Amino acid sequence: MKRTWYARLLDVLFPPKCPFCGCVLNEPGVCPKCEKTLPWIEEHLCERKVGQSVCAAPLWYEESVRRALLHLKFHYAPGAAEPLGQLVARCAAEHFSGEFDVVTWVPVSRKRLRRRGYDQARLLAESACRCWDTKPVALLEKTEDNPAQSTLTEAAARRANVLGVYRALPGAAGRRILLIDDICTTGATLGECVRELYAAGAKDVVCAAVALSREKKVHKNTEE
């Protein structure tokens, strides 16, 4: 992936770091030590059904992966999205090669965007798309600032919490879509977004995330 002069300048001023251990790297990515020790998902468990679709992820949501994603979402660390998005791109290419022609993301609400300063799923999608020399397209918007999914532990409550809070934007009809998010726990959020995209005429939707939750019990501070 060719990097622009501006990106290289930022690397000099703010050296890229491994999102999992914080060691300084020559370019955005994951350090060799973490590559060997991360909780990679076994091949036969990499995909999880989410509503009418399936979500693939490279990592389990635990240990250093959990810390990295919480840092990205709640501690103003947008730089972590670049290497994490590269992992999402690699996973999507392995599982869904040739199955999508446009990339989008699960959006946060306007209120949460103002508070956080960025949409972490959009940053992940942008990073993944740089691996393919393309750009993601906004195909969804969040119409309500509903309670965070992390406050709910029951799958049924999480499904009810996201029902009707997303709306498809023009452009989904006839498209084969890769939908990107940071974490897939129960799959309620991704499932609702997939439903909206299909209702808007999408031809096909597949999903990818950085991590899947291994346990049935939902961790606090996971989604949004």
Q: Which token pair is 56?
A: 């693939």
pLDDT in tens, 158-211: 666 666 689 999 999 999 999 999 999 989 999 999 999 999 999 999 999 999
Q: Which token pair is 106?
A: 């699960």
Q: What secondary structure letter does DSSP report for 127?
A: H
In this prediction, residue 15 has a pLDDT band, given cuts at 50, 70 and 90, of confident
pLDDT in tens, 40-66: 999 999 999 999 999 999 999 999 999
Determine contact, residues 194/209, Cβ cutoff 8 Å: no
Q: How confident is the model at residue 32, as a pLDDT?
A: 96
Mean pLDDT across the stretch 3-11?
52
pLDDT in tens, 70-105: 999 988 889 999 999 999 999 999 999 999 999 999
Q: Where are the beta strands (DSSP E) in 96-171?
A: 102-105, 140-142, 166-168
Residues facing 178 on adjacent strands: 103, 206
pLDDT in tens, 98-157: 999 999 999 998 888 998 899 999 999 999 999 999 999 999 999 876 545 554 455 555
